[in-house]
Amino acid sequence: MPDRTPKALRKAIAEHAPKLLPDFDAHWKRAIADTFDLGPAPAFMAFWWGEYALARDPELDAHVQDLELRASEATDNAEAKALLEEAARIRHRVQQLEPGE
């Protein structure tokens, strides 16, 4: 993982997960640049930190997407809840990654 700064994260996304870059840039523009408000920056970084962490591990990313898809198609509420909770646990775990990991 890169340094925990917007600039370092953007560089890492551009190098290792370029498919995310247009959305990253659009979100930055909408949430930070156009508003001149740094208040949303921590939430922005948390969101994109997790998105990048998943994108750099294609197998894990596919697994999370599969869990979420299966949850959306589940007809049993308990099954859908369990699938979404597992996806959430993985998303939470990648949020905890530190620079250099």
- For residue 52, the model assigns a pLDDT of 97
In the prediction, which pLDDT does 1 show?
96
CB 48 within 8 A of CB 9: yes
What does the block give as tokens for 83?
A: 């699938």
- Comparing CA positions, the residue from 26, 48, 40, 25 lying closest to residue 97 is 48
**Residue 96 has which token pair?**
């905890």
Tokens of 76: 């049993």
Task: Specify the pLDDT at position 82.
Answer: 98
pLDDT tens-digit profile, the chain (101 residues): 999 999 999 999 999 999 999 999 999 999 999 999 999 999 999 999 999 999 999 999 999 999 999 999 999 999 999 999 999 999 999 999 999 99
Q: What one-character DSSP code corresponds to residue 21? A: H
> What Å distances lie between residue 3 and 11, 15, 51, CA to CA?
10, 14, 15
Residue listed under structure tokens 């994109």: 48
Quick one: pLDDT at residue 72?
97
